[in-house]
Every structure is written in C-alpha cells, then in structure tokens.
Chain A
Amino acid sequence: MQEIISDKNWNKLGIYPIVDEHDIVKVRSIVRQHAKDFRMGIVEQTRITTAISELLRNMYNYANGGDVVIESGDIEEHNALIITCIDKGPGIENVELAMSDGYTSGMGMGYGLPGAKRLVDKFEIYSEPQKGTTVRIMKWK
C-alpha cells in the first residue's frame, strides 16, 4: 500500500467538503457533470458517479466526512478524471479484508469498495489506523 500523492501537473477542478448527506448528493452530481464534460457516455457517467457515491457514503458513514478533490490529468498515457476522497477518520485496520466482496463492519452490503474498484479504470487506497483513509479513483477519457 503506497501513500497517495497528487501530481503537480494535474489540473484541479474542485475541492468539496463532505459534511452531510446533501453534500453527497451535490458532489455526486458535480462528478456526473465533469464526466459529461469529459464526453463520457451514459454508461461511463453512471459508473464513475456510482463509484464516487460509494466512497462518499463510506466517508460519511465511517469517517464522519472528509474532503473530495476532483482533478484531470495524464496517467499512464491516458487523459483521466481523477477523484480523491480524503478523510481523517479511524482508518481501516485490514484493507485487504475491507476490499473483499461482502465484507462489512456495519450494516452495509460490503460491496462498496470492491464494487467501486470494478467500476473505474484505476483504483488506489491508502489507510492508516487512527489517521485516516484516502481513496482515489480514475477514469480514462
């Protein structure tokens, strides 16, 4: 697991705090708009929006909220939409377990993290217990 850092060459499109459920709805529609601006098709739009919805809900449910950074930039020879969710919550003790299908520590379905990973082109997660969690999803243009 590697720490997640931003590339200076990326273009910052926005940063949004997640405090309540309305912020989830708001940021989700902002992400959908960026996907549209990126000329992604309806299926790709739905995928990235659903993936970010999972991450935002996790941040809200388990970490008492956090920040979302939306960027665009080049990764592995692709022009990508890059969305990073940063929280200062309790962190995840066992990331491998959290990433497995069906695992939930609460009342969820346990498909949020692994499902989000399957919905995007590149997925990164970094978590330190007591410090917080950062999850980044990327979708090629």
Chain B
Amino acid sequence: MENNLDFKNAKERIEHIEDVLSSVAAGDLDKRLQTDIEDDLTGIEEAINILIEDLTYELKQSKKMKEELEDKLNKIQEQQKTIVQQQEDLLELSSPVTKVWDNVLILPVIGTLDSQRTQIMMENLLQKIVETGCTIAILDITGVPTVDTQVANHLLKTVTAARLLGADCIISGISPAIAQTIVHLGIDLSSIKTKATLQDAMLFAMKKNNQLFEGKIHLEHKEQEEDDK
C-alpha cells in the first residue's frame, strides 16, 4: 500500500538524503536512510542505501587489494635485497685460484675480506697448492679496499699455512696509501714478501722459478751423469 507524499515530510526527508549523501562524500559509510514509510521517495531512498552498500563493498575490496599489493611489493623488495646481497656475496666468494704457469699460482682477492670469506679463500689456496704442487703463490690484493688488522692477520695466517705446505707467498697490490696505513696500525708484515704490483710479483716469481728450474735441471743432469757411471 502506498502513502501519498506529504510535502513537509518530504522536505525533511530530502534534507535527510542530502545529509546522508554528504556524509558518504566525506567518507562515512555507516549512515543509512530510514525507509519505514512507504511512498514515492522510498524507492530513491532504497536505491541510495544499495548504492552505499555497494560502495562500501567496493572500497573494502580495493583496500584489501591495496594491502595485498603492498604486501607483494614488500616481498619483492625483500627478494631484491636478498638477490643484491647474494650477488655481492658471490662476487666476494669468488676467489679463483689459477695456475698461471708452471709452479706459480695466482689468487686475485677482490672485495672485502670478512672472516667467513677469508676462511674459504685460504682453504681454496691451500687446496690448490696441494693439488698442483706449486711452490709459489701470489696473493694480489689490488681489489681489497681496506686492510685492517683483521685482514692483515688473515693474510699472515694464510702465508704461514702455505709455507707449511711448501709454498712461498708473495703479496702484491698494496697501494701506497694502504702501505702507510699498515705502518701506522703497527703491524709488522716484514716476514711476508710483498710487491707493489701484480706485474712485479709475476716478474719476481718468474725469476725465482727460473732459478728453481735451473737448479732442478742441474740436479737432473748430475743424477743422469751419476747413472751413466
């Protein structure tokens, strides 16, 4: 049954509709229109209520989506960080020991030497010394930006361990600034053979190698001569 629209009543109700709509516009989605009287305005009121209901639902959905997106973004950023970290670690961990020529190993050290990495570097080098039987190893630290007492200590230990396995180490690539800093720190590296550049170290190794081989050849000759007798 439909009531006729009473003008005074209608004015009040339209004002109420305006109120509710401006609340909605201001972001308050809790307000609804009362529809206890049934007349020509009721349909509009109901429609507005449904609209607010839909709007609330949509807003909730988009808020949820936004949160999910933010979550995903955070995760991606987290992963990105891990990847960068891993790349750094990989770079730092790759301390390839290569045999450059007979009897000489070269280990270019790049990046920062933390304890874990130094451990791996040292193990790699010692392993390679055993495998190849090389008696000269060049540790090039041109790519190491900071030599503090911990790094120096690791270098000393590496050199000592290599010596125990029968290999002499040469450390190259100590820049003038780092050399001065080491002196001020008070560390004594005089027990280690050092060369300014990798090139110097290689020349030195080559000479030493020649001496060694000449010695060896001499010995072999002698042994042969002795065999001939």
Task: Determine whether the beta carbon of A54 is less than 8 Å from that of B148.
Answer: yes
Q: State the majority secondary structure of interface residues on A.
A: helix
**Residue with the highest number of chain A CB atoms closer than 10 Å, among B176, B177, B185:** B185
The interface residues of chain A lying within 8 Å CB-to-CB of B176 are: 43
Q: Which residues of B contact A (CB under 8 A)?
A: 85, 112, 114-116, 145-150, 152-153, 175-178, 180-181, 184-187
Residues of B contacting A47 in the complex (Cβ-Cβ under 8 angstroms): 180-181, 184
Q: A111-B185, A111-B186 are in contact. Are A57 and B177 (CB under 8 A)?
A: no
| Given the contacts A25-B114, A46-B177, A112 and B184 also touching, CB distance less than 8 Å | no
Most buried by B among A29, A46, A47: A46
Complex CA–CA separation, A54 to B184 (angstroms): 13
User: Which of B148, B152, B185, B187 counts the most A-chain CB atoms under 10 A from its CB?
Assistant: B148
A-B contact number at CB 8 A: 68
Report how many residues on chain A are interfacial, defined by Cβ distance under 8 Å: 26
- Give which listed residue, B85, B147, B152, contacts A22 with CB less than 8 A: B85
Query: Which residues of chain A have a CB within 8 Å of any CB of chain B?
Result: 21-22, 24-25, 28-29, 32, 42-43, 45-47, 49-50, 53-54, 57, 101, 108-109, 111-112, 114-115, 118-119
Determine how close the nearest CB of chain B comes to the CB of A34; give it in whole angstroms.
15
Contact pick for A53, options B85, B148, B187, CB 8 Å: B148
